[in-house]
Chains A and B, each alone.
Chain A
């Protein structure tokens, strides 16, 4: 068989079961691709021996006719997921060489279904960032490059964030799929920047247990893959109730793959006029194109209003840092991770946290401490929570009026280059999440699907937002967009001899 890294996850699954390919061959091909792609800095930890051991076990199971749903499929795991016996960093110095003695529920669900781990993927520190530039272990380089004349520009393009290692690894064919997490857009924005598919499911669909917490009322796990079908396959295994996370929902997980190819005829798609302002001409043109694709597929298009949209990002930048400052209080140098010596225990805390946290994490923890502090709590935090109610109400009303899903752009523009955004003003970087953050605030499912390439040759994505727990409809609509949109040709591996 030709290069097995060029198979989709679904194709690889079928080839393994048909014994046209072994899990060992498939895994070796990915390990070799990872070794040649270190210039991208997508992996923080590579686990080739563990992967090959699991592949041999998968081959034995397939030979016995006992293949599980994801048997022998090599995946990358965002280094925010705790993995038993494998160092987990959250891309922060403060976790030092923390090695969990337990496995996150979502990754355990993937291993239960037969998948195997290639290694741990880079991310923004504690998932705080939109470009993967806040990682304590250096930025991830996107496999995509800007067009320049007949060739390519030298500028290093960001893969989005915070799940930038996940999006880069999947787009560069270093893994068949990857886990990711999304607090304000950290699955969908990197997917849009790399021409991949990323879904943030409904809040409560996946367990958060064993995933390093950022903002607990917003965080959700989800996959990044190269096709809509692959995302459906992965999410089915990742999702489900977990007694260890009381916010995970005890409801059956549908066979999402069955939704791929289902007719979207008569589905009502809302187009929120407030989203027209956030992006450039190019993304607005793609949005119009997406409307036409869904209309051609038989969907009914209706204009809707989500009047509190513009307040979502500012409210997010109160709620998320407040929850982060509370969650990150645990990094105190006592039970795990980095410890800096101090005069007394308070001095030890302060020195440990000053050394261990990067600039963006420190900013957010301080903003969070401020908005929760005496005298500011009502004016900032409670007010932001009230505005969150209004944002959710906007969506509730649109869905009550019969809308099945909402179509928006995923990002305001194509990806930018390293160092181009946020250096002088942190807010400039935050604006990347303008189309995605409302979805977390309302707890809804959202999927990013590639729509084509911009004039600079970089991918652009569309976003579909669904009713709570109606991921199946999103997969049907996303598959319709995917089949109408121009096919994404992922970059040739220029990085194999890059330094």
Chain B
């Protein structure tokens, strides 16, 4: 399986990373090197094998569905690149 230049641009957009035209070819080659490396996985017989989603056979702890934390808007906004009162400021989303 190998990715072409249109696919590189599509993946970059999915990942929300801008790519310059002159980078596309090199990025495609790097992604293909990694995809070649993982290609041998298709030879493994995985019939009837469950996908592993947790290495620990443990029940996750549950707690009461109540507010346990909060009330520190200043701390949450402390590192914001742009803010106004207790709001994050972003470019206009809806015209």
Contact = CB atoms under 8 A, between A and B. Distances in A.
21 contacts: A203-B55, A217-B53, A243-B61, A243-B63, A247-B60, A249-B56, A314-B40, A315-B41, A336-B81, A347-B18, A347-B91, A351-B18, A370-B11, A383-B46, A384-B38, A385-B51, A385-B53, A387-B49, A390-B46, A427-B33, A443-B55
A338 B56 CA distance: 36
Interface of A: 96, 98-99, 101-102, 203-204, 217, 243, 246-247, 249-250, 308, 310-311, 314-315, 317-318, 325, 329, 332-339, 341-351, 353-354, 357, 362-363, 365-370, 373, 379-380, 382-390, 392, 425-427, 430, 442-443, 468
Contacts of A344: 91-93
A353 B18 CA distance: 7
A314 B37 contact: yes
A280 to B, nearest CB: 20
Contact of B79 (A98, A370, A468): A98
B30 A426 contact: yes
Q: Is the interface of A mostly helix, strand, loop or mixed?
A: helix
Interface in B39-53: 39-42, 44, 46, 49-53
B60 A246 contact: yes
B51 to A, nearest CB: 3
A337 B79 contact: yes
A341 B91 CA distance: 9
Q: Is the interface of B mostly helix, strand, loop or mixed?
A: loop
Interface of B: 3, 7-8, 11-19, 27, 30-31, 33-42, 44, 46, 49-56, 58, 60-61, 63, 72, 75-76, 78-82, 88, 90-93
A315 B38 CA distance: 7
A392 B14 contact: no
A81 B37 CA distance: 31
Contacts of A311: 40-41, 44
Contacts of B53: 217, 385
Contact of B78 (A99, A217, A382): A99
A386 B52 contact: yes
B90 A334 contact: yes
A345 B82 contact: no
7 A-B pairs with least C-beta separation? A443-B55, A385-B51, A336-B79, A339-B81, A350-B18, A101-B75, A354-B18
Nearest to A353: B17
A315 B43 CA distance: 12
B11 A204 contact: no
B12 to A, nearest CB: 6
A397 to B, nearest CB: 14
B31 A363 contact: yes
A362 B34 CA distance: 13
A334 B15 CA distance: 16
